[in-house]
């Protein structure tokens, strides 16, 4: 007997063919797959091939007398550990966000009391449309986990951006991760359920010309670990990331950006949020007028002079918002000397509630901090300075998110009128 069982709801999209491989990979791992196909999905993949691979009959109709007698949408949605929607089209997401139930796929989702994982796939403009983003935020607040969409070429010629279904191994990993998480009564949702957390991570790249840029040394490891820890605690997470080589944490909605200006715009779009964690190593300056052509290195041309202008300070901008300020604003301070003194200065000058100050000189931290796996930080707040021992970046992330949950938990009981700053 197969130990775990999922229901896979296939939406209609060109990426539906990837589900055939997904079903095989899951069954190889001993995970049973029962498939519901929307009418549109059947235009892309035949129920016959899905049935052959899943070794089960495929469910397609809400009103099928045989099905309703044998196994209706209620039982279908309950006899599994997890419901996976892939590809999750804009239409399926919208239906689920609004509680519609006019076909079998949406009825199964509405009748479900199980965890739901959605892997969106659609045209990038559809993904970025405020209606889709609103629906995704609503579903995340309802406890739905998202994986992807990934960035890349679209099936439509000449179209590229964020909208591709994540690759099958990433989808398998997200499914296994969710199946491995214990479900324990009402606490299953985690201490940050219903909370929206915005995290910035990685460096920014400020163009000099089409091939050169100014950047900071930042791997994104700490910021991405914080986003992953917040997802694990049940939060809806928007991760606004500069260019990095670390994988996006499953369950976070990733907004990829390059420059500081794009990062600030993305943060504003992601608000409202309960918590903002600004971990990105934002470049302090950008080139006033980046060249549209590659600047040539030649003897008879003068050495180029770069005029720099200051970038917006994202942390400061958000920490000092009059309306729409997150309840808790956390900044990072990467310093190479007098870490606590400089960190405390930033705590004041930026208006952040907490500053996580770390020594990036790397002295004493095995492997170094920049790009490394470990970190040693000081948490600076209105209550003073707490110096934490050296830990892995993942442990720092878990500890910080635990503190965030503790803070919000206390605020729930003694909630202040809106607009006040966190202490
Ligand atoms: O670069 P600095 O040491 O001032 O960074 C401290 C904090 O401010 C970090 O949390 C960083 O993400 C944030 N920051 C920002 N925008 C900038 C510069 C820094 O959000 N332009």
Residue owning the nearest CA to atom 5 of ligand 1: 333
Domain shared by 139 and 253, yes or no: no
Q: Which range, of 204-213, 242-251, 406-415, averages the lowest pLDDT?
A: 406-415
For residue 315, report the distance from its CA to the centre of ligand 1, in Å: 6
Give me the DSSP letters along 200-217.
EESB--EESSSS-EE---
Report pLDDT for 70: 55
* Residue 216 annotated to the active site: yes
- Report the nearest atom of ligand 1 relative to the CA of 284: 21
- pLDDT tens-digit series, residues 106-164: 999 998 888 899 999 999 999 989 999 899 888 877 778 888 898 877 777 777 788 99
Domain shared by 123 and 161, yes or no: yes
For residue 295, report the distance from its CA to the centre of ligand 1, in Å: 29
We report the CATH number of the domain holding residue 55 as: 3.40.50.1950
Residue owning the nearest CA to atom 17 of ligand 1: 313
For residue 313, report the distance from its CA to the centre of ligand 1, in Å: 6
First to last CA, the chain: 54
pLDDT tier at 418 (50, 70, 90 boundaries)?
very low
Domain assignment present for residue 258? The answer is yes
Domain assignment present for residue 190? The answer is no
Rounded Cα gap, residues 119 and 145, in angstroms: 9
Domain shared by 230 and 179, yes or no: no
Last residue of a domain, one of 138, 156, 185: 185
Domain shared by 157 and 34, yes or no: yes
Domain shared by 216 and 137, yes or no: no
For residue 46, report the distance from its CA to the centre of ligand 1, in Å: 52
Last residue of a domain, one of 185, 206, 234: 185
- pLDDT tens-digit series, residues 251-267: 788 888 999 999 999 99
Domain shared by 306 and 233, yes or no: yes
Average pLDDT, the chain: 88
CB neighbour class for 102 (10 Å; exposed up to 12, middle 13-18, buried from 19): exposed
pLDDT higher than threshold 80 for residue 272:
yes
Q: Give the total number of structural domains in the chain.
A: 2
Report pLDDT for 421: 46
Domain shared by 88 and 205, yes or no: no
Domain assignment present for residue 88? The answer is yes
- pLDDT tens-digit series, residues 28-60: 999 999 999 999 999 999 999 999 999 999 998
Domain shared by 98 and 208, yes or no: no
Domain shared by 222 and 157, yes or no: no
pLDDT higher than threshold 90 for residue 214:
yes
3 state SS of 309: strand
Residue owning the nearest CA to atom 6 of ligand 1: 333
Domain assignment present for residue 423? The answer is no
Domain shared by 248 and 322, yes or no: yes
Task: Look up the pTM and report it.
Answer: 0.63
Domain assignment present for residue 34? The answer is yes
Last residue of a domain, one of 185, 216, 244: 185
We report the CATH number of the domain holding residue 353 as: 3.40.50.10300
Inter-residue contact 163 to 121 (CB < 8 Å): yes
Residue owning the nearest CA to atom 8 of ligand 1: 315
Domain shared by 158 and 257, yes or no: no
| Residue 47 structural domain | 4-185
């Amino acid at each position: 007997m197969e130990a775990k069982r999922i229901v896979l709801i296939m939406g209609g999209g060109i990426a539906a063919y990837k589900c055939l491989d997904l079903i095989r990979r899951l069954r190889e791992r001993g995970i049973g797959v029962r498939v519901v196909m929307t009418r549109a999905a059947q235009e892309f993949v035949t129920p016959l091939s899905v049935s052959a691979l899943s070794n089960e009959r495929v469910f397609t109709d809400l009103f099928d007398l045989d099905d309703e007698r044998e196994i209706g949408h209620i039982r279908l949605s309950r006899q599994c550990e997890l419901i996976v929607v892939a590809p999750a089209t804009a239409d399926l997401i919208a239906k689920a966000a609004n509680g519609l139930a006019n076909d079998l796929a949406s009825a199964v989702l509405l009748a479900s009391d199980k965890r739901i994982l959605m892997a969106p796939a659609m045209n990038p403009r559809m993904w970025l449309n405020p209606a889709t983003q609103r629906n995704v935020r609503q579903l995340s607040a309802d406890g739905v986990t998202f994986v992807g969409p990934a960035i890349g070429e679209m099936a439509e010629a000449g179209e590229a951006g964020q909208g591709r279904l994540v690759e099958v191994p990433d989808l398998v990993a997200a499914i296994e991760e969710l199946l491995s998480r214990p479900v324990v009564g009402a606490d299953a949702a985690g201490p940050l359920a219903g909370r929206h957390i915005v995290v910035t991570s990685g460096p920014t790249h400020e163009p000099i010309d089409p091939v050169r840029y100014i950047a900071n040394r930042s791997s994104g490891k700490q910021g991405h670990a914080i986003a992953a820890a917040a997802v694990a605690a049940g939060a809806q997470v928007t991760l606004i990331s500069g260019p990095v080589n670390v994988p996006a944490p499953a369950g976070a909605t990733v907004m990829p950006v390059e420059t500081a200006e794009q990062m600030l715009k993305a943060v504003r779009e992601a608000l409202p949020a309960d918590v903002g964690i600004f971990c990105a190593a934002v470049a302090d300056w950008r080139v006033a007028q980046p060249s549209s052509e590659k600047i040539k290195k030649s003897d008879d041309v003068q050495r180029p002079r770069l005029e720099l202008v200051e970038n917006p300070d994202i942390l400061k901008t958000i920490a000092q918002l009059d309306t729409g300020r997150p309840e808790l604003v956390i900044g990072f301070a990467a310093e190479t000397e007098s870490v606590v003194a400089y960190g405390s200065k930033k705590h004041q000058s930026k208006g952040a509630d907490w500053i996580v100050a770390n020594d990036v000189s790397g002295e004493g931290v095995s492997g170094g901090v920049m790009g490394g796996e470990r970190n040693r930080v000081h948490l600076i707040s209105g209550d003073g300075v707490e110096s934490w021992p050296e830990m892995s970046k993942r442990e720092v992330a878990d500890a910080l998110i635990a503190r965030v949950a503790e803070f919000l938990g206390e605020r729930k009981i003694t909630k202040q009128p809106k607009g006040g700053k966190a202490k």
